[in-house]
Structure 1
Amino acid sequence: MSVPVHAADPGPGPLTLSGQGSFFVGGRDIQSDTLSTLPAYAPSGTITVDQVYVRYQIPVDPVRPPLVLIHGCCLTGKTWETTPDGRMGWDEFFVRRGFPTYVIDQAWRGRSAISPAQIEAVKMGKAEPDSLPPVFSAGREPAWAIFRFGPEYPKVFPGMQFPLEAQGEFWKQMVADWSAALPVPNPTVPGLSELAKRLKGAVLVSHSQSGIYPFQTAALDRTGIRALVAIEPAACPDPAKDDLAPYKDLPILVLFGDFVDASPRWAPRLKQCRSFVAAANAAGGRAELILLPEIGIHGNSHMLMQDKNSLDIADWLAGWIEKRAGKS
């Protein structure tokens, strides 16, 4: 498949890497007697859960800090890969710009394992049905407004940039979400801390549901964290409740797209993040909140890394990281 050339596209051309691969961070072992109800598989044994899958690509002679790309609700690391209509994803773009990229699947999502123990316990009659985990999926009709393709399904915001002609490919990315069944902070957070320490200076880039995770990671341990980028976060730290000391002198970017004020879901979140940025800076922080329309980039949905102008946004973001987080 040929990759269209965009204004901010550093390719096409061959992609040359010095390394690529995958590994896991975090995880813990649990022993259970309710792992299976199938005769061919024993119900008792030990499994590993809470681990976070990481796929990485490293450019030749990387000159910029590693980026950790963290997906949001009901999705996996596919968020950052090839767009639904076949264009270059941010994982490749940033590698071409000299950033090592590390794309994760959140704990209990995608290639990061789940535990069937609670479900099998109910099937075996060893637990009550109300103990089943609250797993959920986002249907495309309600997700339409959540992702701000339009105010409601199937209406479309004027000038909206998401490639709706390829929406079928996007809906295939959606998976069941176990986050409501997990503790707070999510097990992904200590995994991110371990990964940042391993990388010795990473920029944590989150999206939506995972928007709060980098902040929680910094609150857990600042070691290895060079900057935080929260793209359309579902929440920012609450300055009335949370300690802002972990964010002092840490470059932070909170980034939102378009049509936010038209969304009853996202407008309050933008307001809350504005309050956090103001409070963090008053406490000695280096936080910024940017709305793309205010810098001349218009029409972006919640899935701005997949929008038709996604590489223009990535180019702007690369410049912000280079200026605030420096070279590797």
Structure 2
Amino acid sequence: MRNGSSSLRGPLLACILAGLIATMPAEVATAAETPAGPLTIASQGSFFVGGRETRSDTLSTLPAYAPSGTITVDQVYVRYQIPVDARRPALTLIHGCCLTGKTWETTPDGRMGWDEFFVRRGFPTYVIDQAGRGRSAVSPVAINAVKMGRAAPETLPPVVSAGHEPAWAIFRFGPEYPQVFPGMRFPLGAQGEFWKQMVADWAATLPTPNPTVPALSELARRLDGTVLISHSQSGIYPFQTAALDRTGIRGLVAIEPAACPDPAKDDMAPYRDLPILVLFGDYVDLVPRWAPRLKLCRAFVAAANAAGGKAELVLLPEIGIAGNSHMLMQDTNSLEVADWLAGWLDRHVPARP
């Protein structure tokens, strides 16, 4: 039974659940899900897309480093793995708020992540760090300008870090910290490793649209075709990229997007004939932050299809996959979800000849 009162669990349940998961033998937790055999790839590497040069006189406040010079900002880091004889479409995995491309790598409790899973399934896989996150550099110019007395303190950039306690509800581990939704599948026994993934979010300091968007467009053209798979904060980026330029975009998958295009404001033409999947996990209607987002995405899917689109919205519990948090690519059934998604891709995005 899932309702406001029955879903509330106290700290004792959280501790019991975390303890059970933490003491579960690794082979029990992973053996049923992990594909067997060595990982064989044709190539791997990394590169950057996007970026622009800017000159400043506030690059440094340290005597050992010159304050004046030119730096490159707004670039996006891309790491890739290409399977042998790859025929399935390339996938670009885009992380969400306060995180990096680590989202898609090994799970907090040590299981296979989606990037490796999809490579094993024959998809060339590209994992990015958004502009201003992880290995995609941020600019110190505004901060140093204040420190050097050349700008007012109120001009300091708004930088956000998500605390463990508020993030608990945002990621739908439970209605509030430390309560846990019944049947929730995130590996709470390894939550310490998850919190280490969190980084400061500089998105509010960046231009609009976020430089990640034109960088994704450049990447799609460079790859001559990719499916853009976003999560949470980045959920809107693939839609914005398609509105900017459809070249090279073979499909869009928005996993628990923080926003979908608004049919009352946005043109639906860029999404015509484009395979689109909007995917949500469990407990969405129980969290005030997420219920309106689901409603907007439902309206978008209906409007896109009315305009000739091929959009679909799926809630995992409605197809028999229950208990998924917002971090469904790290939940204990993450590879079950990935396997379902691989099937969706096979049905909607044709393999290369």
TM-score tier by shorter-chain length is: over 0.9
Q: Is the 8 A contact 1:5 1:12 kept in 2?
A: no
1:175 to 199, 213, 220: 199
Is the counterpart of residue 5 in structure 1 residue 60 in structure 2?
no
CA distance in structure 2 between the partners assigned to 1:309 and 1:4 by the alignment: 10
Which amino acid in 2 is paired with 1:5? A
Matches within 5 A, 1:35-184: 35-184=59-208
CA distance in structure 1 between the partners assigned to 2:267 and 2:160 by the alignment: 31
Which amino acid in 1 is paired with 2:150? K
The CA deviation at 1:301 is: 0.1
Local SS of the residue matching 1:261: helix
Q: Is the 8 A contact 1:203 1:226 kept in 2?
A: yes
Query: What residue in structure 1 maps to residue 50 of structure 2?
Result: 26
CA distance in structure 1 between the partners assigned to 2:331 and 2:47 by the alignment: 29
Local SS of the residue matching 1:26: strand
Unmatched tracts of structure 2, length 5 or more: 1-25
Which amino acid in 2 is paired with 1:302? H
Which amino acid in 2 is paired with 1:114? V
Query: What residue in structure 1 maps to residue 237 of structure 2?
Result: 213
The CA deviation at 1:4 is: 2.4
Q: Is the 8 A contact 1:80 1:91 kept in 2?
A: yes
Is the counterpart of residue 251 in structure 1 residue 270 in structure 2?
no
1:132-162 Cα distance to aligned partner (Å, 9 max, x none): 0000100000000000000000000000000
Aligned length: 326
Q: Is the 8 A contact 1:65 1:327 kept in 2?
A: yes
Local SS of the residue matching 2:318: helix
The CA deviation at 1:6 is: 2.8
Query: What residue in structure 1 maps to residue 6 of structure 2?
Result: none
The CA deviation at 1:180 is: 1.0
1:232-279 Cα distance to aligned partner (Å, 9 max, x none): 000000001111100000000000000000000000000000000000
The CA deviation at 1:12 is: 2.6
Is the counterpart of residue 198 in structure 1 residue 239 in structure 2?
no
TM-score, length of structure 1 as denominator length:
0.98
Local SS of the residue matching 1:53: strand
CA distance in structure 2 between the partners assigned to 1:47 and 1:5 by the alignment: 47
CA distance in structure 2 between the partners assigned to 1:12 and 1:43 by the alignment: 53
Is the counterpart of residue 239 in structure 1 residue 254 in structure 2?
no
TM-score, length of structure 2 as denominator length:
0.91
After superposition, the CA RMSD in angstroms is 1.0
1:42-95 Cα distance to aligned partner (Å, 9 max, x none): 000000000000000000001200000000000000000000000000000000
Q: Is the 8 A contact 1:6 1:311 kept in 2?
A: no
1:2-52 Cα distance to aligned partner (Å, 9 max, x none): 892335x4x232100100000000000000000000000000000000000
The CA deviation at 1:302 is: 0.1
CA distance in structure 1 between the partners assigned to 2:174 and 2:331 by the alignment: 14
